[in-house]
Every structure is written in C-alpha cells, then in structure tokens.
Structure 1
Amino acid sequence: MTDRQRADARRNHERILAVAEQEVAVHGAGASLEQIARVAGVGSATVRRHFPTRQALLEAVLWHRIEVLCERARELAGADDGREALLAWLGEVVTYCVAAKGLATALAFEGDPVQGNSCATAIEEAAEPLLRRAVADGAVAADVTVVELVTLIVGIVTVTEHHRDPAGSAGRLFALAVAGISPVR
C-alpha cells in the first residue's frame, strides 16, 4: 500500500466516523450504514472494510463516552461510601445512555465471542471495583453483578427513550430499581 493509499484510507476512516457520529446522534444504533456511506462519499464496501460490523462502528462512535464513564468509575473507587459511589456512577451511566443515542445498545450487545464487546468489557472492568466495595460495605447484595446492573440500565433507557421526558422517566425508574438492589437496612 502506498503512502497516498494509506492517507486516503485514513481520511475515509475519519470521514466515515464523523458522519456516523452525526447519524447515531440523530437515529441511534439503527443509523443506516448506507446513509452513512452516502453522506461520507464512499461506498458501503468501504464502510464495511473500516468497520466490519454495525457493532464495530457503534463502538468506535461511542468510545469517548465509554472512556469518560470508565475514568469516572476510577475516580469514585476511592470514595468513603461504597454505596453512594456505585449509585452515583450508575446514575451517570443512565444519564449518558439517555443523552447518547446508541450507547445503551452498545452496552447491551454480547458481541462476537472471539472479538468481544470492547464497550461492555471496559465498563464492566471499570465498575467492578465500585461494586466490590459496595458489596463489602453491605450496601449491595453479594450476588449482584456489573453485567446485571448495566443490563438493568439498558432496559430502563430502552423502555423510556420515547417517553415525553426520557431523562426524567429513566431517572425515576432507576431510583425505583435501586430499592431492589439495596438490602433493607
């Protein structure tokens, strides 16, 4: 591959990603790959060459938000109150998922067993210390997993995305669910 071909491939990758970000912001995870290719000025085969699956494209678009959530989990891991730290972080995941169409879908995918789901894996790894701390503090039942908590959030966000006030509805449902994950004190 010549330098010119590599430069063209990099430009195509960046252009596809920029257009995909706009399309996912408007249409969520169901954004049309053909529309992304058309607006980016490339063929659908070029989109698939750079992003072999819809999931790969969605993960690339949402990766920055995932990194922010992971960093926030690391910041909260040192908090004095394990329950409050976990709930604060989960609340932020709800807020991000409501605001970023497609993020909940990216977290819900189980992914290819060989390639995995980098978004879900990163979130799970970042949240694990928060959950372990909350469990150790007796604030969360010992058998609760990060995957279950994220699945709960994905469900809440998915169910409320077409409500008049998605953020308010998701927040209220999350608060209701918290009573179910916290043991009676």
Structure 2
Amino acid sequence: MANRERILAAAEAVFGEHGAAGSTEDVARRAEVGIATVFRHFPTKAALVEAALVRHFDLLNEQASALAAHSDPGQAFRDLLRSMIEGGATKLTLAAQLPDGQFPPSVRQEADRLRATVEVLLDRAVRSGAIRRDVGADEVYLLIRGLAQASATTPSAPRTISRAIEVVIAGLSA
C-alpha cells in the first residue's frame, strides 16, 4: 500500500508539472520504485492518471470533511477554497490527459462528493454572515476553475497566486 500511495503522489507531481510529457518512467523515479511496480499497480498510463485524480479528490474530500466541523464556518470555507485553487492547476493538467476528456465514473463520484461538501461549507459560511448571500456553488466553482486554468496555462509565482486567492476571497466575503 505504501508503494501505491508513493506512486500516486509522484504521478500527481509529475503529470501536474509536465502534463502529457510526463512519463510513467518519471513517476517511477520520483516514487523511488521500479517501472514494473508502477505497472503492477496501474496497467496503463490512463489508469494511473485516473487513480491520481481519484486521490486528488479524495484528499480534498478528507480536508473538506474535517473543515465541516470547524467552529468558524467562514474560515473553514476560505481554507477549502484556497486548497482547491492551489491544487486546481494540477487537477486540470491531469484531467487533460484522460482519453476522452471526460471524468470516468470513479473520478466523477469523488468530484460530486466534494461538490456536496463544498455546498455544505458554503451554506454554513453564508448563514454565519462570512460569505455573501448571493454567492452559490456555481459561482465558486467558476472562480476556482478560472484561477486554476490561469495557473495551469501561465504559471505564476506562489505569492501572486496567493494574492489572487485573497482577492477572490475578499470578493466573496460579506
């Protein structure tokens, strides 16, 4: 199980950095395993990309679930929003490598589960007065995708991305 997790973390890093130019050999090197170990767990590059996307959403789901219990709904929502934007470029780069450009059912299930939790966190933040009442999940997801797409196509300094996230959060704040 440790090898599988290392391979998935390496795949997210390699494909997030290099897109389609990343290779399973690069993943094996980064994970410090042999290429046979990669293929034993993931028989194709597509299977590896799919599993990396599932892991990406699963980790966000774990974070979102933990934040749902946070005593400050506004801060919980802002923390999740920041994580989603910061990881969004990698997610988009991974998703661009899917064979048909659509999320497979396993990825769609995790993405839908995350959206449901985002909606709960957003509702709590709105009801607490931290986030504007006229903001819905559709607007939030559009903003996340916009910053993620900009980061994926025109890499920016981490400080610039952080400031852009602060601008988005300020715009959403009540």
With normalisation by structure 1, the TM-score equals: 0.61
Render the CA deviation track for 1:119-165: whole Å, top value 9, x for unaligned: 43122022122111011112223342234313212211221343441
Paired position in structure 1 for 2:4: none
Q: Runs ≥4 in structure 1, deviation > 6 angstroms?
A: 16-19, 39-42, 106-110
Determine if the alignment matches structure 1 residue 103 to structure 2 residue 91.
Answer: yes
CA RMSD for the aligned pairs? 3.8
Larger Rg: 1
> Is the counterpart of residue 69 in structure 1 residue 60 in structure 2?
yes
Runs of 5+ consecutive residues of structure 2 not aligned to the other structure: 1-6, 29-34
Are 2:80 and 1:92 equivalent residues in the alignment?
no
Q: Return the match for 1:131 from 122, 136, 156.
A: 122
CA contact (8 A) 2:53 2:107 kept: no
Contact 2:15 2:94 in 1 (8 A): no
More moved, 172-181 vs 146-155:
146-155
Contact 1:94 1:171 in 2 (8 A): no
C-alpha distance in 2, partners of 1:89/1:136?
Answer: 17
The answer to whether 1:153 aligns with 2:144 is yes
Structure 1 stretches lacking a partner, 5+ long: 1-15, 52-56
2-side partners of 1:115 and 1:129: how far apart?
22
The amino acid across from 1:128 in the alignment is E
Against the structure 1 CA distance between its residues 151 and 106, is the aligned structure 2 distance closer, same or farther, given a 3 Å change threshold? farther
Q: Does the alignment pair 1:82 with 2:73?
A: yes
Q: Residue 170 of structure 1 corresponds to which residue in structure 2?
A: 161
Residues in 1 aligned to 2:57 and 2:141: alpha-carbon distance in whole angstroms:
13
Write the distance in 2 (CA, Å) between the matches of 1:23 and 1:47.
16
1:12 matched residue in structure 2: none
CA drift of 1:92 comes to: 1.9
- Identify which of 156, 170, 174 aligns with 1:179: 170
CA gap of 1:104–1:147, structure 2 versus 1, over 3 A, is farther
Whole-angstrom distance in 2 between the partners of 1:79 and 1:17: 29
Spell out, residue by residue over 1:71-100, the C-alpha distance to the aligned partner (whole angstroms, 9 max, x if none). 111111122221111001111222333xxx
Instruction: Tell me the percent identity.
Output: 27
* AA of the residue aligned to 1:133: R
Q: Which amino acid aligns with 2:91?
A: L
For CA contacts below 8 A with separation 6 or more, give which structure has more relative contact order. 2
- Provide the aligned length of Structure 1 versus Structure 2: 153
Question: Is 2:109 aligned against 1:121?
Answer: no
